[in-house]
Amino acid sequence: MRIDPPPRISPPAAPAGAAGAAGPALEVEGRASLRTFNTFGLPAFAQTLVHVRNVADVRRVVDHPSYGRSAKFILGGGSNVVLTRDVNAVVLKIEIMGRRVVEERPDAWVVEAGAGENWHDFVAWTLDQGCPGLENLALIPGTVGAAPVQNIGAYGVELKDRFESLDAVDLVTGRVVTLDAAACRFGYRDSLFKRHLAGKSVITQVRLRLPRPWVPVLGYLELERKRAETGMTHPDARTIFDWVCSIRRAKLPDPAAIGNAGSFFKNPVVSAEQCRDIIGRDPEIVHYPLPDGTVKLAAGWLIDACGWKGKTVGRAGVYEKQALVLVNRGGAHGSEVVTLARAIQESVYGRFGIRLEPEPVIV
Ligand code: EPU
């Protein structure tokens, strides 16, 4: 596959977002509403919100006489956060743009994007450039910079499977570091950025490695179903992209229409013995044995089995088509979402003895 015309480079020119120290001053807002900056649509204010458009802006924050020493809260697309109160930490709204094909190697295409780019638009753009490999991750809400933080995954592909490296700026020293996959310590919906580096480091650029030749990932049941329905035994990347979009649209709410943060809980992993015990009582339980002998259980199934699907508590609810997704029924406060989440955790624990762990960060 060739890349012709040459890859488009959106401004700023390569490397994306790496503007010099000179330039316009920081753009700062006081008492800024975060309602439209979180996909749940929860009401909260930032005392101070800084629009971060490039590396130089991050350095200006680090060197700032007051923001430099303050706690920081890094906000991407707001698709993995539950805001229960106003944020006193300095909110860094990451708006670093730009995307480019960095390298076309015999074994892979390497693509790069600024952390503020919309993830789904980036996936679509890579396909337009003739670089397949991210199609299974279509329509995941959020930004490119947030993708490694929680190691996003769907339909048999995780970000870590396509990861090359990222650049991040240390919020104490202002130093730029480049981290590879091992350094990011990716886990299931987890990375160093959710732990040790939370609030301490800003991801500015992400590079992904898309293996050549392209091999489709079709093992996931719903994709197999699409293959059987359409009779397309060898779908191309664009077709898989379209299938993933239609599967997601059929069962996940569009955050633009119904506030939500995707899966609210992680799928719990239990020992084989614990799983056998549960199967003894609930033979229908949806479970996936993992290579290390443990078993992943479908949290959506557990919640559904406890009768939560479609239920509403206050102004928060459980989505009708997928019990793993909590939604804002309109005007909900973050505390209502948390109250509902706790009630679900208690009932799943009561029936199955399993503690569900939330996926989004609760502030
Ligand atoms: N199920 C039910 N009832 C429900 C929901 C699910 O019985 O209300 C059953 C389904 O029938 C299915 C099983 O549970 O057999 C698993 O459901 P599904 O295939 O929808 O996937 P999931 O485990 O709920 C995970 C990811 C999603 C990702 C899909 C597809 C997590 C926490 N979630 O969901 O990621 O899109 O697989 O790969 O791992 C996200 O992280 O925000 C997200 C949407």
| Secondary structure of residue 149 in the 3-state scheme | helix
pLDDT of 3 higher than 80: no
Looking at every residue in the chain, the average pLDDT score rounds to 92
Range of the domain at 172: 99-211
Residue 242 forms part of a structural domain? no
The region of weakest confidence among 24-28, 70-74, 107-111, 319-323 is 24-28
63, 94, 125 - which closes a domain:
94
Residue 300 forms part of a structural domain? yes
Does 112 share its domain with 40? Answer: no
Residue nearest to atom 13 of ligand 1 (CA): 298
pLDDT at 23: 57
> Which of 274 and 24 is assigned the larger pLDDT?
274
What SS3 string covers 66-117?
CHHHCCEEEECCCCCEECCCCECCEEEEECCCCEEEEEECCCEEEEEEECCC
Residue 15 forms part of a structural domain? no
pTM recorded for the entire structure: 0.91
74, 94, 114 - which closes a domain:
94
Does 133 share its domain with 171? Answer: yes
Q: What is the mean pLDDT of residues 326-342?
A: 98
Report the nearest atom of ligand 1 relative to the CA of 155.
38
Q: What is the mean pLDDT of residues 349-353?
A: 94
Residue nearest to atom 6 of ligand 1 (CA): 300
Q: Is 189 a catalytic residue?
A: yes
CA proximity to 345, closest of 355, 353, 337:
355
Residue 22 forms part of a structural domain? no
- When divided into structural domains, the chain yields a total of 3
Give residue-wise pLDDT tens across range 249-265.
Answer: 999 999 999 999 999 99
- Supply the CATH number for residue 71's domain: 3.30.43.10
Residue 1 forms part of a structural domain? no
pLDDT of 10 higher than 80: no
Q: How far is the CA of 262 from the centre of ligand 1 (A)?
A: 10
pLDDT of 213 higher than 50: yes
pLDDT at 42: 98
- Cα distances (Å, whole numbers) of residue 330 to 20, 249, 320, 360: 43, 20, 15, 19
Kindly name the residue from 53, 60, 162, 189 that is annotated as catalytic: 189
| Bridge-based pairing state of the strands 81-82 and 361-362 | parallel
pLDDT at 199: 86
Does 140 share its domain with 38? Answer: no
Residue 92: phi and psi, rounded to 5, are -100, 110
- Supply the CATH number for residue 200's domain: 3.30.465.10
Query: At 1, is the pLDDT very low, low, confident or very high (cuts 50, 70, 90)?
Result: very low
- Supply the CATH number for residue 288's domain: 3.90.78.10
Does 49 share its domain with 72? Answer: yes
Does 338 share its domain with 263? Answer: yes
Does 298 share its domain with 318? Answer: yes
Residue nearest to atom 29 of ligand 1 (CA): 154
- Token look-up 């800084």 returns 50
pLDDT of 236 higher than 80: yes
Does 41 share its domain with 59? Answer: yes
Give residue-wise pLDDT tens across range 136-192.
Answer: 999 999 999 999 999 999 999 999 999 999 999 999 999 999 999 999 999 999 999
211, 230, 251 - which closes a domain:
211
Residues with CB under 6 A from ligand 1: 154-155, 262-263, 266-267, 286, 298, 300-301, 304, 309, 322-324, 359
Residue 318 forms part of a structural domain? yes
Does 81 share its domain with 121? Answer: no
Does 40 share its domain with 74? Answer: yes
Residues paired with 187 in a beta bridge: 190
Give residue-wise pLDDT tens across range 43-54.
Answer: 999 999 999 999
Query: At 7, is the pLDDT very low, low, confident or very high (cuts 50, 70, 90)?
Result: very low
Report the nearest atom of ligand 1 relative to the CA of 220.
38
Q: How far is the CA of 343 from the centre of ligand 1 (A)?
A: 20
Residue 272 forms part of a structural domain? yes
Does 263 share its domain with 310? Answer: yes
Tell me whether residue 350 is exposed, middle or buried, using C-beta atoms within 10 angstroms of its C-beta: 0 to 12, 13 to 18, 19 or more: exposed
d(CA 327, CA 311): 10
Residues contacting 136, CB < 8 A, separation 6+: 154, 155, 156, 157, 217, 220, 223, 240, 244
pLDDT of 291 higher than 80: yes
Report the nearest atom of ligand 1 relative to the CA of 309.
8
Residue 327 forms part of a structural domain? yes
| Secondary structure of residue 329 in the 3-state scheme | coil
Query: At 25, is the pLDDT very low, low, confident or very high (cuts 50, 70, 90)?
Result: confident
Does 158 share its domain with 77? Answer: no
Tell me whether residue 229 is exposed, middle or buried, using C-beta atoms within 10 angstroms of its C-beta: 0 to 12, 13 to 18, 19 or more: exposed
pLDDT at 20: 42
Does 334 share its domain with 288? Answer: yes
CA proximity to 314, closest of 128, 149, 84:
84
Give residue-wise pLDDT tens across range 88-112.
Answer: 999 999 999 999 999 999 999 999 9
Q: Please, what's the b/e burial string for 17-51 (b: 16 or more CB within 10 A of its CB; e: otherwise)?
A: bbbeeeeeebeeeeebebeebbbbbbbbbbebbbb
